[in-house]
Structure 1
Amino acid sequence: MIKYSGLGAAAVVGGSAFLSACGSDSGGGGGGGRGGQLIHGATGGGSKDTLDPHQPVQAADISRCCNLYEPLLFWNNNYELEPALAESVEPSSDARTWTINMRQGVTFHNGQTVTAEDAWLSIRRVADPKAPLSAGGQLSTIIDFESSKVVDDATLQIVLNTPYALLDSLLAEYTLGIIPGGEFDPANPVGTGPFAYKSFEAGKSSTFTRYDDYWGEAALLDELVIQDFNDDNAKVNAFQANQIQTLDNLPYNLIETIKGAGGGVLEADGGQWVPFTMRVDQAPFNDVRVRQAMRLIVDRQAMIDQTLSGYGTLGNDLYAPLDVMYADDLPQREQDIDQAKSLLASAGAEGLQVELFTGDDIGSVAVPAANLFAEQAKAAGVEVKVTKKTPFYDDDYLSYTFAQDFWNTRNYIPQAVVGTFPPELGGTYNETHWDNEEHRELVNAAAKEVDEAKRAELVHQAQEIEYNEGGLIIWGFRKQVDAYASTVSGLEPSKYLPLGNYKFSKVSV
């Protein structure tokens, strides 16, 4: 029996010719057979597009990663861990030694057998202490590289320099795909996914073909094309003209239009969020009173009603709502213009003027949310200049004083590390430049704690600090809404990533 075992999550055993099929059921009324080509319209993309499995940034990158590469474990559609390239990941009683048993009979797209050595070298690339990549920030600080070893072709033993009860969740990130010898060749990228590389042009499109020797259920499609769209209108127009068959992140104000034209709409409840990010190390946001004021300016329900067309739930400046340890007992923050004015006055920031950077490649919610926030801020005497950048994800990303970003679902501890720790300690996407030692120590202590009740208390304390002092305005959590044409079937809603975790291998046209 294929199994997964671990401490970090519950065990799981392993003008259009649309046809109306909408809601949260599996997508599509057409297809069902083998063969054909699917063209997917991905949000974002540009000259910095990448096929590197360990450095995706925007949705187009992520959709490519999810079809070309695979990690050791998967997050499934219910946001639960299940086996992928590892049949099991088993911790010692003190969570310091983890044994990874590799799935047998898996080959890379070049025909080479996948071994524990490939897994270890891929982890080492990601977790290089001198230059950790997206999934490797915390791994680089907790792995004992000298003591860890490849036991044999099927077994990898990872030894940690500290207990870490959630290592399995780190190994399931889509940014930790296993590649041959841990080496990425941009001219000929090789993974284990259901689709193999054919061609790639940054900012435009990429093409993949079915890998017939895939270890799981082989893809039905002959070919997958992923096309970049920096503009939501262009993306939807291409969909309505039957130039693409699926798109991620359908603008919420167009849901009824697509349904009315007979298009399929795939809805999923998840923990996706599009925050406003305030750099806590730069004026004016280096004053916590200004950050608190900005959080009180936003009318959260209006944001949901107007930018999400009601397809969302209230946020409370904390992330990870699917985590069982989410601090839902903290008072719901609401708009309070008088208190915001008082805080700004006490900070000497009356008549505050700030520039807010946004962009279409963040997602369809970003620009409308930025404009609405600018309107709401006027009531507190704050002037917000909205600057739309194309692309948003350029060399300035992670340097903006006041901006937005998009995040998919993660549990609290790994999200806190990647999003609030200093870069050298794992914060590879720390937009706010948050560096709070007390918070960091609580998160690290929670990650080490095997006792779940004690871990929950530590996580709650960490969340309270972010709730009171953090640099994120998390006004809501959006439903994931994507679209598909009548010829497409096999899609399933996912709490994790768009279009059923971008698993186009299950799709037929």
Structure 2
Amino acid sequence: MPKHFRMIDTARRNLTAIENSAIDELLAGRIGRREFLRHGSVLGLSLPFLGGIASALGLDTGEARAEGKPGGTVRAGIATPGGAIDPVTYYDSGSYQLVFQTAEFLCVTLPDLTLKPVLAESWAPNDDGSVWTFKLRKGVKFHNGEDFKADDVVATFDRLADPSGSSNALSVFKGLLSKGGTQKVDDHTVAFHLDAPNGSFPYSVSIDNYNAVILPASYKGDYEKTFEGTGPFRLESYTPKVGASFIRNPDYWGEKALPDRLEFKFYGDVQPRILALQAGEVDLLDAVPLDVSQVVLNSPDITVLRVASTAHRQLHMRCDMAP
């Protein structure tokens, strides 16, 4: 048996049947490296482990890392938030771009659609995918000094799945996760008991579900006053309809952010945002609509960063009459 197959065979001995099926698909050539990494990460297998399997088969893992220098202030021009900022109810990009600086998810989606652990260190399903158990990261604190624990995760998802509340995530969890389905196993372990088996459940508690940031169990609303979270930045100031600023969190559990400070300026329309970028009043914009994109794309002074997106346009056609 070739050496790389012996290594893979050894690694497989402690995996479940569901986890081994991903390796079987890769070995059979039915899926490629990208699909293997995505499938394995959803099942809770670590990216280093998946990368090791792929490397043993001579597959490029495609890992790269951006570099930069610490310090300074980054200024961003974004759309004015649509209303009071509350992670439970918000639905607009202006709101969640602010919250994402201070609050975090159990996991996040990378550009290749694999899942990266954040507040969860690992996760795994039971044999039929009806229960998903998440191991939580230890040593994490909220900005107010409270420890991050399983109670916070339980409260967050009970809040989001409560049909009597105003959660914007109810459409995500309907038929998937009910209030009471998120259960504490111990201080750093939670089990999601689903309404029905689901093989891609981790995406529902990732950044793909932008309401799923983890809030303290004690959260009662008024998020704008504190922007409480576990993230790399803390609130410095927030003025509705005007802007917000955040400073680097020196006690952040993970890799420290490079900028000392973030400054967000709110704009009610895209044209003033583009003018602000051209005038040097802001350093970046989040997105530019197609109808005005040429102004940005044709400027030699502006760098355009292209990322994969799930955004799409729909064409609705009537099917109740003949052409």
TM-score (norm 2): 0.73
Report the number of matched residues: 265
Change (3 A) 1:66 1:260: same
- Residue 80 of structure 2: aligned partner: 45
Change (3 A) 1:251 1:140: closer
- Residue 217 of structure 1: aligned partner: 255
- Whole-Å separation in 2 of the counterparts to 1:230 and 1:275: 25
Choose 163-172 or 259-268, whichever is displaced more: 259-268
Conserved? CA contact 1:70–1:174, under 8 Å: no
- Residue 233 of structure 1: aligned partner: 271
Change (3 A) 1:215 1:136: farther
Change (3 A) 1:51 1:210: farther
- Residue 262 of structure 1: aligned partner: 301
Conserved? CA contact 1:259–1:265, under 8 Å: no
Q: Give structure 1 stretches of 5+ with no counterpart.
A: 15-25, 279-284, 291-341, 344-509
Letter in structure 2 aligned against 1:175: N
Q: Give structure 2 stretches of 5+ with no counterpart.
A: 1-15, 20-37, 49-63
Secondary structure at 2:154 match in 1: helix
Change (3 A) 1:96 1:245: same
- Whole-Å separation in 2 of the counterparts to 1:9 and 1:55: 30
Change (3 A) 1:165 1:182: farther
- Whole-Å separation in 2 of the counterparts to 1:147 and 1:178: 16
Letter in structure 2 aligned against 1:177: V
- Whole-Å separation in 1 of the counterparts to 2:175 and 2:218: 19
Change (3 A) 1:213 1:134: same
- Whole-Å separation in 1 of the counterparts to 2:147 and 2:276: 40
Deviation of the 1:260 alpha carbon: 3.5
Secondary structure at 2:40 match in 1: coil
Change (3 A) 1:181 1:255: same
- Whole-Å separation in 2 of the counterparts to 1:102 and 1:260: 45
- Whole-Å separation in 2 of the counterparts to 1:147 and 1:69: 23
Secondary structure at 1:10 match in 2: helix
Q: C-alpha deviations, 1:139-161, integer Å up to 9, x for none? A: 25433555642121111122223
Conserved? CA contact 1:49–1:203, under 8 Å: no
Q: What are the within-5 Å matches in structure 2 for residues 146-295 of structure 1?
A: 146=180, 148-172=182-206, 173-181=209-217, 183=219, 184-186=221-223, 187-252=225-290, 253-255=292-294, 259-275=298-314, 288-289=319-320
The one of 40, 65, 72 equivalent to 1:10 is 40
Change (3 A) 1:127 1:9: farther
Change (3 A) 1:178 1:216: same
Change (3 A) 1:264 1:181: same
- Whole-Å separation in 2 of the counterparts to 1:89 and 1:257: 42
Q: C-alpha deviations, 1:243-287, integer Å up to 9, x for none? A: 0000022344544655544221112243312446x6xxxxxx9x6
Letter in structure 1 aligned against 2:128: D
Q: C-alpha deviations, 1:362-392, integer Å up to 9, x for none? A: xxxxxxxxxxxxxxxxxxxxxxxxxxxxxxx
- Whole-Å separation in 2 of the counterparts to 1:263 and 1:144: 46
- Whole-Å separation in 1 of the counterparts to 2:141 and 2:102: 13
The one of 95, 101, 107 equivalent to 2:141 is 107
- Residue 110 of structure 2: aligned partner: 76
Letter in structure 2 aligned against 1:271: T
Letter in structure 2 aligned against 1:210: R
- Whole-Å separation in 2 of the counterparts to 1:101 and 1:212: 25
- Residue 161 of structure 2: aligned partner: 127
Secondary structure at 1:267 match in 2: coil
Conserved? CA contact 1:109–1:196, under 8 Å: yes
- Whole-Å separation in 2 of the counterparts to 1:60 and 1:161: 33
Letter in structure 2 aligned against 1:45: T
Secondary structure at 1:62 match in 2: helix
Higher relative contact order, chain-length normalized (CA < 8 Å, sep 6+): 1
Deviation of the 1:132 alpha carbon: 5.5
- Residue 11 of structure 2: aligned partner: none
- Whole-Å separation in 1 of the counterparts to 2:232 and 2:213: 13
Q: What are the within-5 Å matches in structure 2 for residues 421-500 of structure 1?
A: none
- Residue 369 of structure 1: aligned partner: none
Q: C-alpha deviations, 1:207-248, integer Å up to 9, x for none? A: 111111112111111111122222222111100111000002
Q: C-alpha deviations, 1:71-104, integer Å up to 9, x for none? A: 1111112222111100112110011222111011
Q: C-alpha deviations, 1:330-373, integer Å up to 9, x for none? A: xxxxxxxxxxxx53xxxxxxxxxxxxxxxxxxxxxxxxxxxxxx
Letter in structure 2 aligned against 1:268: V
Letter in structure 2 aligned against 1:68: T
- Residue 124 of structure 2: aligned partner: 90
- Whole-Å separation in 2 of the counterparts to 1:189 and 1:69: 8
